[in-house]
Chain A
Amino acid sequence: MTTLDPTSDTIVRSGDVVDDNSKLEAVLAGVADWSTSTDHKKIGRLFLGGGLLGLLATVVVNVVLGIERADIATVDQDAIAQILDAQRVSLVFATLLPLSLGLCVAIVPLQLGARALAFPRLAAAGFWLWFGGLVFTVIALANDGGGLGGNADMVDLFIASHGLMAIGLAAAAGAVATSVLTTRAPGMTMRRVPFFSMSALVTALGLLLVMPVLLGTLVYLFMDHRNARQGFGGNTGIYEWALWVFTQPTTFLFAIPAIGVLAEGAPLLFRLRTPARGVMFAGLGLIGFAAFTGVAQQAVHNLPWAGSDLFIGDSNDVRTKLDDALPWAMFNLLPLLGLVIVVLMSLFLAKPAKGVRPNLTPAFAFGFLGAGMVLMGMLGTALFAIEDLALQGTVFEEGALIYVVYGAVLGVMGGVAFWAPKLWGRTLPAAHLLPLAGLGLLATVLASLPSYVEGFDTPRDVYSVLVLVGHVLMGLTVLAFVGLLAKTLRAPADEPGDNPYDGHTLEWTTASPAPRANFVDAPTVMSSEPSLDVATTSGSDT
């Protein structure tokens, strides 16, 4: 049996509108079309749109928090509790997760040569559950709910809404994972799966493993808070029991698709086939595996290295230190190693080739900068876990979270720009995109690095001001990106061609924008770079 949806959605074109009534009908039809669509490209774009809105909300929340911390203005203390709640929720559930998952839903079936996403209705339901949960979360926070809130009913709503989001995200992740495992084109073995799709599979499997655990915890929290308020510490217990999903290393798991964007863009820079694809797969898989194993291990490790020599003293000294260091290294250095492998492989592929003009795609430009920022977040997380550095209780961890989230945002923005020809049939101008990537990098560094420095130093207003500027710049980056996208979509069609970036993978063999069923015929794949095969064959023919 197949679960592919053969029905086509109603297509509303702006040119069809002839008067006010039909304009209204067209708008309503468009809303109905998008809200009930089972086309993965639309579901993915809904997630992406929701994630970008969530990112703007995140920026606003962080700006308000920055204003308070920098003593520029005083915010009501009761409101601060809600803002602190909103900061974590918006960074992870309103920004990082929908953006990562949205890009996967929109692109993965195209890369696999599939006509549709597996279980498309499940993915659509996942989006609406996530969106509904997010709306309820905002309502709860606005009415004194949240982990630090004082309105019991709104705290209940806050917990329940997170349950809705967890179910929705797991549903969409299930659709993505099933797609990669079952809807690949003939000839596409798992070793030939594109890097981005592999990163999507790793994240989707991770979400399927993590979100149910969160849901179970939330059910307990809800039942206890609603009825007994004894075993889980009331509303303050929410973060004791569920904080792990809002922090590292869980967030690494959610950021993997952004790293997949870099892996996808690197071979295009000098039009190289990727040797040793298994190494890149191993890097992506290692990040996911190590992050998942660390999810439930929110331990602080005691590594008393300062002022002590490793090999002087009795042998127990060495043994004690190794006993302390090994778990720390397992949980903190393995994901870092995975990302380093991907970055090094990308740099290896970025080696200039004679006579080949560099093909700087948005995927590589944004992906490289984004992966660098995620790397900084991983480094910070590794340092944060060392008790001797006394970073617990400082804003250092917040800096690591923002590095990871904003780094992933940069990667996803690169992915959206890179695959824009397939999603909208337009190419975003590189002349505008590259400065945006630079602005995004500056924003991420400013929003995070001062928190790292403050972790080692005493709190100073200047750090808060710099962080505030970073968040404002990130807001500007997102607005500029959305504006550029809107402007490009409103401009006359530029007819980018099927493969404007000389892409190697299967999505570049279909039309731009991709038709409803993605491919007219099911393509047969003979290598890991099917589109490059076609281009090479065409070149040799002529």
Chain B
Amino acid sequence: MQALEAGPAPAPRRQLIVGSALASVAMVMLTGGMLAVWSLQRRRTVDVGEVWLPEGVTIPEVPVNVTLLAFIGICTFAQWAVYAAKRNDRGHAAFALGVTVLTAVMVINAQAFVYSEMGLGVGDGTYAAMFYAVTGMFMALMAIGIVFSAVVAFRFIGGRSDREIVAAHAIYWYTVAAIFAAIWFVVYITK
């Protein structure tokens, strides 16, 4: 049979950006589902006259609020990397990515501080198990983000500067920031 005529090389279709957007949707569903179950369990506990946050446990609010503010920094740095990559400014892009990693590490450090200050054992009831499940899942997303940022930074340092992966990386951090805002409100503020 006659073959179809060969066409021009396929135009770039922003594969990484689409992939990152789909991953973001999955992350939102993951956290949204967990927070929905959190709210349901909280309501059930309160409805039977019990307290949701165990007696004697205090959530340190300063590191939690600082973490929320830190995400403004992370998003800004990620966007700075996109801006620099568009101008093929490898130095600034690598620096912005490095600062993104550093800020993300600080967020993990703040979460570890929250854990130590709360003094809550993972086996201390439903609240504790769910608290560590939600925040632990969030820490996993942070760790993935740090690896993502590091990979992109090393690609730039190594001379493979392409914009698409930096934009995809920024989408990831925007989503993580939105997810933390939801956790901040449901877990730390509403309590």
Contacts and interface: CB of A to CB of B under 8 A. Distances in A.
B8 interface: yes
A181 interface: yes
Contacts of B8: 186, 522, 524
Interface residues of A, number: 52
B37 A216 contact: yes
Contact of B4 (A118, A223, A228, A530): A530
Given A534-B2, A538-B1, A186 B125 contact: no
Contacts of A118: 15, 19
Interface string B22-42: 110111011111100100010
B5 A524 contact: yes
B162 A213 contact: no
Interface in B13-65: 13-16, 18-19, 22-23, 25-27, 29-34, 37, 41
Query: In which size bucket is the chain B interface?
Result: 35 or more
B178 interface: no
Interface string A517-528: 000111110000
A535 to B, nearest CB: 7
Contacts of A142: none
Contacts of A534: 1-4
B158 interface: no
Given A208-B25, A230-B126, A219 B7 contact: no
A231 B126 contact: yes
B133 A223 contact: yes
Contact of B7 (A187, A226, A535): A187
Contacts of B1: 497-499, 509, 534-535, 538
A73 interface: no
Interface stretch (A12-20, A170-178, A370-378, A469-477): A170-178
A183 B22 contact: no
A531 to B, nearest CB: 8
A536 B64 CA distance: 67
B137 interface: yes
A499 B27 CA distance: 42
Contact of B31 (A177, A216, A226, A520): A216
Contacts of A230: 125-126, 129
A168 to B, nearest CB: 13
Contacts of B9: 522
A118 B22 CA distance: 13
A138 interface: no
A517 B82 CA distance: 32
A212 B27 contact: yes
Contacts of A182: 13-15, 18
Interface string A207-237: 0111111011101101110111011100000
A70 to B, nearest CB: 40
A185 B10 CA distance: 7
Given A216-B137, A223-B129, A521 B15 contact: no
A77 interface: no
Nearest to A122: B19
Contact of A509 (B3, B7, B12): B3
A308 interface: no
B37 A217 contact: yes
B82 to A, nearest CB: 14
A422 to B, nearest CB: 14
25 contacts: A1-B162, A2-B15, A118-B15, A119-B15, A119-B19, A181-B13, A182-B13, A186-B7, A208-B26, A208-B29, A215-B30, A216-B31, A216-B33, A217-B33, A220-B37, A223-B122, A227-B122, A228-B125, A230-B125, A521-B6, A522-B9, A523-B5, A523-B6, A523-B7, A537-B2
Interface of B: 1-16, 18-19, 22-23, 25-27, 29-34, 37, 41, 122-126, 128-130, 132-133, 136-137, 162, 164-165
Given A182-B14, A224-B126, A228-B123, 17 more contacts: A1-B15, A1-B16, A184-B13, A185-B7, A186-B10, A186-B11, A187-B7, A208-B22, A209-B25, A216-B137, A223-B133, A228-B126, A228-B128, A499-B1, A521-B6, A522-B6, A523-B5
Q: Considering the complex of A and B, which 5 residue pairs feature the smallest CB-CB distances, nearest first? A: A231-B126, A521-B6, A524-B7, A212-B30, A213-B33
